[in-house]
Structure 1
Amino acid sequence: MTLKQQLVDDMKAAMKSGDKQRLGVIRLVNAAIKQREVDERIELDDAAVLAVLEKMVKQRKDSVSQYEAASREDLAAIERDEIVVIEHYLPEKLGEAEILAAIDDAIAQTGATGAADMGKLMGVLKPKLAGQADMGQVSALVKERLTAG
């Protein structure tokens, strides 16, 4: 079952159970997916849906920090609840050791030797680690690996 189909099924289940909060978040996710499909005139695959979900989580985390800075804990709590629902659809995050193993595999695969090869390496890693790792962390680890090696 694709991620989009799972979202539709979960939306129906939330409607039947009366879980308004979960239903609202799933509708937001579906709307964001549909918007991207309409804008780009394409059908999103699971990797692209994961990218949409990652972006939505990042936006909500930014909102939480802004709400906390403005002493609006009520609004921050709403955003945190939405993050929990969205993260349910993301794959489990990889640990640093697993990310480093993926980086080492990619280095062996591409023959990367220095910082100049970082773009090529990230091009291989991004689709592999999408949704499973923070790409900022991956980038920092790649940089560290390439400068140390």
Structure 2
Amino acid sequence: MTILEKLDNEIKTALKAREEARLATVRLIKSQVKNKEIELIHPLSEAEFLAVLSTMVKQRRESIDQFSKAGRTDLVVKEEIELKVIESFLPQQLTDAEVDAFIAQAVAESKAAGPKDMGPVMKLLKDKTAGRVDGRVLSDKVKAKLAVI
């Protein structure tokens, strides 16, 4: 079953259940996927699909921060609902212990000697943790780990 077929099935399910917020969000996801397919001129791979979803999650989190600062609780609630729906398509997020284990392994593999070696470590980690951990959290943890070395 392709990604678009899965999204179509989710749209049908949301229509039957009359879940307006879920329906709108799944349609938005489908739209973003179609746009990315047009841009790349080929159907999305699983990794590319996860990248689209990760971008959407990041946008929602930034919007929630901005709306919270502006005191727009109505829009915060809407964005949080969309965020939950989008995250339901992502794989299970890694725990802090799992992230720390991946970081230790990547530091050992890349033979990192300090903060200047953050690039190679992050490259290894991005491949291993794609879609399962927020990039900002990962970056902060790697900085902290490399600062101690």
Matching residue of 1:132 = 132
Shift of 1:15: 2.4
1:5–1:127 Cα change, 3 Å: farther
Distance 1:116 1:94 in 2: 26
Greater Cα offset, 33-42 or 12-21: 12-21
Unpaired stretches in structure 2, ≥5 consecutive residues: none
Greater Cα offset, 89-98 or 59-68: 59-68
Shift of 1:3: 4.7
Greater Cα offset, 6-15 or 26-35: 6-15
TM-score (norm 2): 0.87
Shift of 1:26: 0.3
- 1:74-126 alpha-carbon deviations (Å, 9 max, x no partner): 22211111111111111222122111100112223233333332211111110
Shift of 1:2: 5.4
TM-score (norm 1): 0.87
Aligned CA-pair RMSD? 1.9
1:49 aligns with 2:23: no
Distance 2:10 2:140 in 1: 36
Matching residue of 1:15 = 15
Alignment-mate amino acid for residue 136 of structure 1: R
Identity %: 40
1:13–1:139 Cα change, 3 Å: same
